[in-house]
Amino acid sequence: MFSISCLLVLAVWLTGVENSSTESRLDRAFIKRAVEDAIRTVDAAYKYSREADVSKLRESFSKPSDLLAFLKRPSRDTRSAVRSAEYMENALRLIQERTHHLHKRAINATDLLSKEDLETVERLTGCAARVQPPSCFTTPEVNEYRTINSVCNNRKNSRLGAANTAFTRWLPANYDDGVYIPRGWDPCKTHNGFVLPLVREVSNKILSTRNEEIEIDSVNTHFMVIFGQWTDHDLTLTPFSPSIRSFSNGINCDESCERASPCFPIKVPKNDPRIKNPAACIAFFRSAPACATGDSAYMFGDPNVRQQINSLTAFIDVGQVYSPEESLAKGLRNLTNDLGLMAVNQNFTDNGLELLPFTNVSSNMCATRRKGTNNSALNEIPCFVAGDERVNENIGLTAVHTLFVREHNRLARALRALNPHWSGEKLYQEARKIMGGYHQVITYRDYLPRILGERMMQLQVGPYTGYDENVDPRISNVFATAAFRFAHLTIQPSMFRLDENYNEHRQFPSVLLHNAFFANWRLVFEGGIDPLIRGLIGRQAKLNTQQHMLHQELRDRLFELTSHIALDLAALNMQRSRDHGVPGTGYNAWRKFCRLSQPKNVQELGLVLNNTDLAKRLIDLYGTPDNIDIWLGGISEPFVPGGRVGPLFACIIGTQFQRIRNGDRFWWENPGVFTQRQRESLNRVSLARIICDNTRIRDVPAQPFQYRPRGSGYTNCGQIPQFDLSPWNEPIGCGTELAP
């Protein structure tokens, strides 16, 4: 398969073919036929894949790879964006194949591109419309509230940071062909003189840890870990192609270990400790490509290189509650009244408190109750629906989703009591805006310093100096596929459930992680979210150490609901970085980017890692530090002082969060977004208070990310100040929108 943006090659194809002794350009009819055929090919593959998905979802249990694919399958506007990109990609493939039979001379990469022909392909595939910047002059309340997809956050570049645009790159991509083929695609190809190791082999030899071997973080709670996942789900989601079969040769990625995009299966090494079939592989789908339309398509690097789509906005705007898609955002609201509320479950409550609504999509993905209880007589329930499709991924994450939907509704009701003249739309938008402010404060004040350490927080993020429209806030590929995945090493192998005294819950005990995936029934029938929230704030995070990195729940039992091959999160992470062309020229390229030393041998790498044995094992696998996959190199480094990542990831994470903040026109501290009194209230927001207000928990740690043994540092909810909404009181006659 060819890159959608392989423009230099396209320049030759579209310049034409030789006709006798003269060059003649391809006529428009030829181009149109190729595009039409490409559209038919893609549509047929999508139809085949959708029918296969429906069949799988009706089965009792899906394969682990199916569950991951369902989570990453694009929908709504994202699906439209991916479809246009794949139309264009396949149109270029067909044009190349057909012109090859007519025109035999070697491709000259310096030939000029025919702008008119390129525009024809872009227009017919829909790619031109995907990157056309919309006007902000007709957008209602563009200066008062964020648009749901963050279009027009930047008035000068209206798509900057918006949903369904490409990730940015801070270093040029590194594909084996310079365009789209990932490193490791050809297992015999050498890099810096060495072949790359299989990612599953690296996982086996470097990361393997038994559940009972893990080490415990004495400082941080498990809530800090899940809040990191929660934040990631506000910032990054890379969709897979909707097709499960190759466009070029029609193979089914679920049924073959052949590499043909979008199939990029993970090969299993000999003598694998878990997977005994040497011909087996772990299914892996490449991320969907993004549309490109020439040198204006990307702000960094060569527009010929394959890019990937981020279906979320680049801003901390709580999209995992509200959704970055207009249609879903509307569907998540309770529009049966004019109260500005989010929709909640109409079938069940959590001891009188709200639960998330069920999806209306017919699916058995969450039908895990009978297997989880070993009782075939029990009724299954549908998945929950939220602003992010990964809401059901694990029950800890689902509990946090529930907590913040309740908080939105609490805010909307309190704002209505304060301003009974406000319309439902005003109540919804103001509650949403406050929620965004909450999360920005909590993330930068409470969460990031525990990850980066205070010194790196000051160096990499620094104090806020105001909004800068010239800052690119887009999420970088390296952040999404490598650096922010450090937290996988901090997840406990169990989801803890604790009683009112923060002891193990007798009726609903803690569950191993593989029994917590897609198990939303546990919130409905097993005590609600309170035992889970207590488990998050009352138990410690796992500590990432060089000896005990990734436990078996994530390395050998990920999404294990059947007897099919479970996934390996470590292998997935490294394969994803290769898929995205993230390695640059390897680990050292990113060390150089961060102005860190670049080790050249075992001795120097041993000094960087403060571990000569680990350095030797890495060099035995990779041959040179230059080849080390960045995710692995980053998680192997010793922590910065006071943090939970090494210098490389502290640099990348800190740089990303600085750009997210400084490039956000609606950042809570930016003058005009909130009043001075409102900012003072937001600055005092307490996650502990949010827990108190939306659960029946009565004693909490004052700082829920900081571990405190029971009896030390716990505070009664009655002693935690309420969030002050009085600055939002708006008397009638102050330009307020009146309710009908």
pLDDT at 585 over 90: no
Beta bridge partners of 715: 700
Q: Of the candidates 132, 147, 181, which is a domain's last residue?
A: 132
pLDDT at 2 over 70: no
Q: What is the pLDDT of residues 153-198, one digit of tens each?
A: 999 999 999 999 999 999 999 999 888 899 999 999 999 999 999 9
pLDDT at 292 over 70: no
Assigned domain for 307 exists: no
Q: CA 586, CA 578: separation in Å to the nearest integer?
A: 10
- 123 and 225 in a single domain? The answer is no
Q: In this predicted structure, what is the pLDDT of residue 600?
A: 97
pLDDT at 58 over 50: yes
Q: Of the candidates 109, 132, 155, which is a domain's last residue?
A: 132
Assigned domain for 521 exists: yes
Do residues 558 and 567 touch, judged by C-beta distance below 8 A? yes
Assigned domain for 156 exists: no
Strands 540-543 and 208-209: unpaired
What's the token pair of residue 80? 């439209």
Which member of 233, 401, 439, 514 is catalytic?
233
The DSSP H or E segment spanning 17 is: strand 17-19
- 76 and 220 in a single domain? The answer is no
Q: Report helix, strand or coil for 706.
A: strand
Contacts 24+ apart (CB under 8 A), 9-12: 9/92, 9/96, 9/107, 9/109, 9/179, 10/92, 10/95, 10/113, 10/118, 10/121, 11/111, 11/112, 11/113, 11/114, 12/107, 12/108, 12/109, 12/111
- 86 and 216 in a single domain? The answer is no
Percentage of the chain beyond pLDDT 70 is 88
Q: What is the pLDDT of residues 436-475, one digit of tens each?
A: 999 999 999 999 999 999 999 999 999 999 999 999 999 9
- 355 and 494 in a single domain? The answer is yes
Whether this prediction's pTM lies above 0.85 is answered by yes
Q: Which domain holds residue 122?
A: 25-132
Q: CA 143, CA 39: separation in Å to the nearest integer?
A: 39
Assigned domain for 219 exists: yes
The whole-angstrom distance between residue 8's C-alpha and the CA centroid of its chain comes to 31
Assigned domain for 465 exists: yes
Q: Of the candidates 98, 132, 166, which is a domain's last residue?
A: 132
Instruction: Quote the mean pLDDT of the chain.
Output: 88
Q: In this predicted structure, what is the pLDDT of residue 17?
A: 38
Assigned domain for 45 exists: yes
Beta bridge partners of 263: 260, 285
Q: Which residues contact 375 (CB under 8 A, 6 or more apart)?
A: none
Q: What is the pLDDT of residues 633-673, one digit of tens each?
A: 999 999 999 999 999 999 999 999 999 999 999 999 999 99
Q: CA 355, CA 569: separation in Å to the nearest integer?
A: 29
Q: Which residues contact 569 (CB under 8 A, 6 or more apart)?
A: 488, 550, 554, 555, 558
Kindly report which listed range (96-105, 207-216, 508-517, 695-704) carries the lowest average pLDDT score.
96-105
- Cα–Cα separations (whole angstroms), residue 393 to 41, 250, 399: 33, 30, 11
Residue with tokens 């709200």: 354
Mean pLDDT of 253-268: 89
- 228 and 325 in a single domain? The answer is yes
- 335 and 223 in a single domain? The answer is yes
- 90 and 220 in a single domain? The answer is no
The DSSP H or E segment spanning 552 is: helix 552-555
pLDDT at 420 over 70: yes
Assigned domain for 336 exists: yes
Q: CA 737, CA 739: separation in Å to the nearest integer?
A: 7
Active site residue 514: no
Do residues 427 and 412 touch, judged by C-beta distance below 8 A? yes
- 216 and 103 in a single domain? The answer is no
Q: CA 170, CA 168: separation in Å to the nearest integer?
A: 7
CA-based nearest residue to 357, from 520, 526, 148:
520
CA-based nearest residue to 586, from 460, 478, 474:
478
- 479 and 386 in a single domain? The answer is yes
The whole-angstrom distance between residue 434's C-alpha and the CA centroid of its chain comes to 23
**Can you give the CATH number for the domain in which 424 is found?**
1.10.640.10
pLDDT at 294 over 50: no
Q: Report helix, strand or coil for 673.
A: coil
CB atoms within 10 A of CB 446: 18
Q: In this predicted structure, what is the pLDDT of residue 734?
A: 57
Q: CA 226, CA 402: separation in Å to the nearest integer?
A: 13
Assigned domain for 687 exists: yes
Q: Which residues contact 686 (CB under 8 A, 6 or more apart)?
A: 702, 720, 721, 723
Domain total in the chain: 2
- 414 and 510 in a single domain? The answer is yes
Q: CA 428, CA 333: separation in Å to the nearest integer?
A: 9
Do residues 237 and 310 touch, judged by C-beta distance below 8 A? yes
Given pLDDT bands bounded at 50, 70 and 90, which one contains residue 30? confident
- 436 and 327 in a single domain? The answer is yes
State the binding site: 488
State the binding site for heme b: 488
Q: What is the pLDDT of residues 693-717, one digit of tens each?
A: 999 999 999 999 999 998 788 999 9
Do residues 158 and 136 touch, judged by C-beta distance below 8 A? yes
Rounded to 5°, angle at Cα 53 from 42 and 164: 55
Which has more confidence, 433 or 103? 433
Given pLDDT bands bounded at 50, 70 and 90, which one contains residue 207? very high
Q: In this predicted structure, what is the pLDDT of residue 94?
A: 81
- 114 and 218 in a single domain? The answer is no
